[in-house]
Structure 1
Amino acid sequence: MKLNGQRRWAAAGVVVATAVATFGVALSAPPAGAAAGCRVDYTANNWGGGGFGGKVKITNLGDALSSWTLKFTFPGTQKVSQGWSANWSQSGANVTATSMSWNGTLGTGASAEIGFNGSYTGSDNVDPVSFTLNDTVCTGQQPPTTTTTTGDPGPGPGNRVDNPYVDAKMYVNPDWSAKAAAEPGGSRVANQPTGVWIDRIAAITGTVDSRGIAGHLDEAVRQAAGSPLTIQFVIYNLPGRDCSALASNGELKPTEIDRYKTEYIDPIAAIFARPAYRDLRIVTTVEIDSLPNLITNVSPRPTAVPQCDVMKANGNYITGVGYALAKLGAVPNVYNYLDIGHHGWIGWDDNFGPTAELLYQAANASGSTKANVHGFIANTANYGAVREPNFTINDSVDNKSVRESKWVDWNRYVDELSYAQAFRQRAVQAGFDAGVGMLIDTSRNGWGGAARPAGPGPRTSVDAYVNGGRLDRRIHLGNWCNQAGAGLGERPKTAPATGIDAYVWMKPPGESDGASKEIPNNEGKGADKMCDPAYTGNVRNGNNMSGALPDAPLSGKWFSAQFQELMRNAYPAL
């Protein structure tokens, strides 16, 4: 019999009998000299009345697998009644689980998590003691390797450091660096580390203007020269991507979750897991904008967008993020950071807590667990100031709180640092580990130049006080596309404040946020009115002007005029 179905776990009072044993698993007919091995973690959750659930995690410690068959024998009366994430069958006491089309590929260090619901009689629910993979008995050993490394290997595979930016070099993307250096004055910042955006399937192997993932990782190994080095990637290609912003829509349609898994995440995870890259610290920013959209831009909110309602209904944002976390988190030297938008999006009371709860749900979806989340990142590709030094959320003018000002508009936070530090605490309250760290993207939030206030605004009214003193010179906090007047912000910096792992330039300065006019492309990117300087706005930006620079190219393409303005307005100044 073949058994597939939906998972069911007891909600409360679950007795957990855990057998976390290490069993080595060899591949069937491996190539000559190839190493083979894996670990199997089996957990049985009894919920009484003769029912239980089983979780099985297979971690591949040997050469890459293209498909797998797991077998084990129940020592008692257990029967599998339904299962998930594998094709399950049982003959007598013998159980077989074979891989699905989307999880058969397991690179070195990668894992697959599968599970089932079952029944037993009496107290006869003893854990199985032996597993085989591809008909080879597990040995309990990771195979030896002939890989030779030089220099300091850092913490080693499987032993992530608390902060991947500490005592590490930072990867400088040669593709971005060359564009920056070609600009007049660009050599002043061309050596800064920036994020590498994998915003479509083609970016995995490389495009006409950027090397592929393996090319970046090979270059990172060269730059490391035997020392710890951190390289940053943005994982950004969900089905129905960025449902509220046409400029950054992607190539995958809302229902194409299987393509996302097999053609996008699986190949990325397989490359990350290659032994040649085991000493790098690979930081991933996972799917910016997606989950926050499911909080703020869905019905019945006045800011609802039909495309976001679709993505909330089909669940593919949560499914996809969970799958990405599970596959990438199985690689021992990968550090996943989930995107949390920015204070001008999620900082209100009715957004803040629900976002933390939704992220926790996604972190435990599709076989993932919260352990696959190393931290969170705020302000990715946005413009919110790290600190607003000239006013605080606790200030008042004529008995009116700063929260009542038109700019703050009852938000609970006025800048990214206070928002990030508070969100970290709220995420822990939602269930995330207490050690999670935060990143803040400071690539375009410097707001220097002649328009930068020298001190607080006049106390003639709360609006004059806030508007006169705020560093962020946008027309509205909801404006996000190629903002006029912005400048380069704090240079990338490790552990700059309590709870903050690093300030980073995750968005490469000079790469456009999007175009206001239709530009033919095969990347799924459309025109967005928020990128048009003549646009008078919508409910999501308070019906204000967009504040965008004119004549911008497609998102991700080089925008020389913006880069020049960012350098002119940099703070600290160049």
Structure 2
Amino acid sequence: MHEEARSGPTTARFRRRVWVSVTGALGMAAASTLIPAMLDTAQAAANACSVSYTNASEWAGGFVANVTITNTGTSALSSWTLTFNEGGDQQVTNAWSATVTQSGKAITATNLSYNGSIASGANTTFGFQGTWTSSDAIPTAFAVNGVACNGGTTTSSSPSASASASKSASPSASASASASKSASPSASASASKSASPSASPSGTGSYGAHVADPFTGGNRYLNPSYVSEVNAQVSADGGNAAEAKVGTYQTALWLDHIGAIAGDTNVGLAAYLNGALAAAKSGTPEVAEIVVYDLPGRDCAALASNGEIPATAAGLTEYETQYIQPIAAILSNPAYASLRIVAIIEPDSLPNVVTNQSKSACATATPYYEQGITYALNELHAVPNVYNYLDIAHSAWLGWPSNMSGTPAVYKSVVTATTAGYASIDGFISDTANYTPTTEPFLTNPTLNVGGNPLDSVTFYQYNPTFDEQTYDTQMYNTLVSAGFPSSDRFLVDTSRNGWGGSSRPTALNSSPTTAAAYVAANKIDQRPFRGDWCNQNGAGIGTPPTDEPFGTSSAIEGFVWIKPPGESDGDYPSGSHTHGDPHCDPASTNTDGNGGTYSTGSIPGYDVPAGQWYAYEFQQLVANAYPAL
């Protein structure tokens, strides 16, 4: 994601069961245990499949299942239809990433427009939610495009579980671990799966009080996939202690595409929450962080993080039914009632509504942004232990007085359209995945006159008086409260990459420059060429670790968080080896300020790393330039 280039209950039983994995040739057996031969050997090799069915979560009377189809043949599938019979009396209530219908016990799932093609060796995952009355026994036979996938073995997360396991089986849970940040999954995801936590929750889910600050008194759950990424880098670098320290701080799980919910190549939502349950200590609430990030027409003013859902009425329906509903279904599992789940809602969305209506893509996406977020808030707020924080950009985007004054109307329209109104949100978050400093310690007065000009007049600020996030959040808080928002709606700040330490950081006020431009250059800690630069910034450093109430309870800022996992790329750029990506990530390219000014992108030279993938050099730089030092 990127921003500024567009300025100015009941007794519950929970399980995660990998019930069955079946493999075979579509039409011909590869061994005597499979179905009789029907096609020649070449055709059998071309048409082969593997299907796995996982109960991601299960409770008294309900369940969420994930199904993965893998094309193990030599020919690509252009479309698919999966058929199987439920093993118990399950009834499908809703589904995502497939059209799922049911007739008696027979289930039919067909691909959607975007996931019908499965290359040889590739897979696709869909999921569904359902109910059961007397049995949730698992299905044992599957067919893809009318031909059986057979011959596999039944596996389970519990050694005692079997293919015929039913409600009496001992509850168990396991969670695979992998990075989840962007639509481009981390290359190291498969290596991270071994860091799997497990949990065995049972009994009645008990929702605690919805507190004012979810972090107060809570333990911040560490995403095991990110910890695994960090540990791998630490090992590669010979045991760097400062790097290892990064893995001891919480980062968020990004649900940035529909498949991420089930955990297509990364840790799924249910598995992540299972890990949080396993980490919980008696008497201390476990805090889990997720990012809800898949609006229709996502990132309308940029390229690197464009989403998978189109900005259309059909796209809005897809967002609601295939994305938000499945997330809400998992979060509402009573087994997770003891967790505090912090949801960061749709980075970069409503800020685009405030400032970028001149862009046709943003004007088109606006109604879907507004309706989609209202829907998401309704669904997530209905879960008592979910805390919703709306993204509200950062000081270098909405900090100009004209932008700030136009912000409340947009946010108020979306929030007051929800069933719960203002109660549907718990606050806001600024600087998500950005680099703007929390404070500019030596530039505290934007109107200070040096050489006949105020500091905010210099090109770097362009009359934006909010030089840092503390100033911006305080002013935006006062603006929103004056417009009717509750004073309890405070701000989080993503400090994961806004430290700007290292040798370039000023250590004391330099009052000797005689021009405003020279004064700012000598004293600002933000070392970007242009405040609108946002992609893999050269010289950046990790900021203050996650902290609750850093300025006290009277401040507009409630806490610091690391939403963007340090060391995962912002995006790549078009090059001779590929055409995808965003030119704003190209270190040889430029950004513009909308007033005719042109600046370097500030991106790290010599690397071209897709969004969300591990970026070793960037991680090492962020650690070396961390402020405070790790």
Q: TM-score, normalised by structure 1?
A: 0.70
| Matched letter for residue 362 of structure 1 | V
- Alignment map for 1:41-60 (pairs within 5 Å): none
Match of 2:213 among 145, 163, 168: 163
Instruction: Decide whether aligned partners of structure 1 residues 545 and 274 sit closer, same or farther in structure 2, where only a CA change above 3 A counts.
Output: same
Mapped pair 1:205 → 2:262: yes
Partner of 1:178: 228
- Alignment map for 1:187-198 (pairs within 5 Å): 187-198=244-255
Mapped pair 1:474 → 2:535: no
Long gaps (5+) in structure 1: 1-31, 36-62, 68-103, 108-145, 300-304
Deviations 1:484-516 (A, max 9, x none): 000000011011021222100011101111111
Partner of 1:423: 476
For the Cα contact (< 8 Å) 2:291–2:344, is it kept in 1? yes
For the Cα contact (< 8 Å) 1:168–1:230, is it kept in 2? yes
Partner of 1:448: 501
Deviations 1:370-414 (A, max 9, x none): 211100000000000001010122422134211212222111211
| Matched letter for residue 263 of structure 2 | G
Partner of 1:568: 624
Instruction: Decide whether aligned partners of structure 1 residues 316 and 366 sit closer, same or farther in structure 2, where only a CA change above 3 A counts.
Output: farther
Mapped pair 1:347 → 2:399: yes
Mapped pair 1:148 → 2:203: yes
| Matched letter for residue 512 of structure 1 | S
Shift, 1:322, TM fit: 0.7
Shift, 1:66, TM fit: 3.6
* Larger RCO, structures 1/2 (Cα 8 Å, 6+ apart): 2
Aligned-pair Cα RMSD in Å:
2.7
Partner of 1:546: 601
For the Cα contact (< 8 Å) 1:244–1:297, is it kept in 2? yes
Shift, 1:519, TM fit: 11
For the Cα contact (< 8 Å) 1:205–1:212, is it kept in 2? yes
Instruction: Decide whether aligned partners of structure 1 residues 519 and 349 sit closer, same or farther in structure 2, where only a CA change above 3 A counts.
Output: farther
| Matched letter for residue 406 of structure 1 | T
Shift, 1:282, TM fit: 0.3
Long gaps (5+) in structure 2: 1-58, 63-89, 95-127, 132-200
Partner of 2:149: none
For the Cα contact (< 8 Å) 2:429–2:493, is it kept in 1? yes
For the Cα contact (< 8 Å) 2:501–2:626, is it kept in 1? yes
For the Cα contact (< 8 Å) 1:357–1:427, is it kept in 2? no
Shift, 1:207, TM fit: 2.9
For the Cα contact (< 8 Å) 2:294–2:309, is it kept in 1? yes
Instruction: Decide whether aligned partners of structure 1 residues 202 and 273 sit closer, same or farther in structure 2, where only a CA change above 3 A counts.
Output: same
Aligned-partner Cα distance in 2 for 1:231–1:395: 43
Shift, 1:536, TM fit: 2.1
Mapped pair 1:507 → 2:525: no
For the Cα contact (< 8 Å) 2:532–2:591, is it kept in 1? no
For the Cα contact (< 8 Å) 2:533–2:591, is it kept in 1? no
Q: TM-score, normalised by structure 2?
A: 0.64
Partner of 1:6: none
Aligned-partner Cα distance in 2 for 1:257–1:531: 29
Instruction: Decide whether aligned partners of structure 1 residues 33 and 224 sit closer, same or farther in structure 2, where only a CA change above 3 A counts.
Output: closer
Deviations 1:29-88 (A, max 9, x none): xxx9859xxxxxxxxxxxxxxxxxxxxxxxxxxx99949xxxxxxxxxxxxxxxxxxxxx
Instruction: Decide whether aligned partners of structure 1 residues 340 and 519 sit closer, same or farther in structure 2, where only a CA change above 3 A counts.
Output: farther
Instruction: Decide whether aligned partners of structure 1 residues 180 and 33 sit closer, same or farther in structure 2, where only a CA change above 3 A counts.
Output: closer
SS in 2 for 1:263: helix
Deviations 1:108-160 (A, max 9, x none): xxxxxxxxxxxxxxxxxxxxxxxxxxxxxxxxxxxxxx96369xx7xx34x21
- Alignment map for 1:335-414 (pairs within 5 Å): 335-365=387-417, 367=419, 369-392=421-444, 393-414=446-467
Aligned-partner Cα distance in 2 for 1:220–1:272: 13
For the Cα contact (< 8 Å) 1:289–1:339, is it kept in 2? yes
| Matched letter for residue 556 of structure 1 | G
Partner of 2:364: 310
Aligned-partner Cα distance in 1 for 2:307–2:301: 12
Aligned-partner Cα distance in 2 for 1:481–1:518: 16
For the Cα contact (< 8 Å) 2:541–2:626, is it kept in 1? yes
SS in 2 for 1:233: strand
Mapped pair 1:285 → 2:341: no
SS in 1 for 2:203: coil
Mapped pair 1:257 → 2:310: no
Match of 1:276 among 327, 332, 335: 335
Greater Cα offset, 506-515 or 551-560: 551-560
For the Cα contact (< 8 Å) 2:498–2:541, is it kept in 1? yes
Shift, 1:356, TM fit: 2.2
Instruction: Decide whether aligned partners of structure 1 residues 554 and 66 sit closer, same or farther in structure 2, where only a CA change above 3 A counts.
Output: same
Instruction: Decide whether aligned partners of structure 1 residues 503 and 400 sit closer, same or farther in structure 2, where only a CA change above 3 A counts.
Output: same
For the Cα contact (< 8 Å) 1:323–1:367, is it kept in 2? no
Aligned-partner Cα distance in 2 for 1:435–1:106: 37
Instruction: Decide whether aligned partners of structure 1 residues 428 and 65 sit closer, same or farther in structure 2, where only a CA change above 3 A counts.
Output: farther
For the Cα contact (< 8 Å) 1:456–1:465, is it kept in 2? no
Aligned-partner Cα distance in 2 for 1:507–1:500: 18
Match of 1:334 among 386, 389, 408: 386
SS in 2 for 1:266: helix
Mapped pair 1:489 → 2:540: no
Match of 2:305 among 230, 236, 248: 248
Aligned-partner Cα distance in 2 for 1:435–1:422: 15
Shift, 1:224, TM fit: 1.2
Partner of 2:354: 295
Size of the aligned set, in residue pairs, is 427
Greater Cα offset, 440-449 or 412-421: 412-421
Aligned-partner Cα distance in 1 for 2:561–2:517: 32
Aligned-partner Cα distance in 2 for 1:436–1:64: 40
Match of 2:615 among 540, 559, 567: 559
Partner of 1:517: 574
Aligned-partner Cα distance in 2 for 1:558–1:64: 41
Shift, 1:229, TM fit: 1.3
For the Cα contact (< 8 Å) 2:204–2:334, is it kept in 1? no
Shift, 1:367, TM fit: 4.4
Shift, 1:258, TM fit: 0.5
Aligned-partner Cα distance in 2 for 1:552–1:432: 42
Aligned-partner Cα distance in 1 for 2:61–2:397: 51
Shift, 1:248, TM fit: 0.5
Partner of 2:491: 438
SS in 2 for 1:222: helix
| % same residue | 39
| Matched letter for residue 254 of structure 1 | A
SS in 2 for 1:491: coil
Aligned-partner Cα distance in 2 for 1:225–1:520: 49
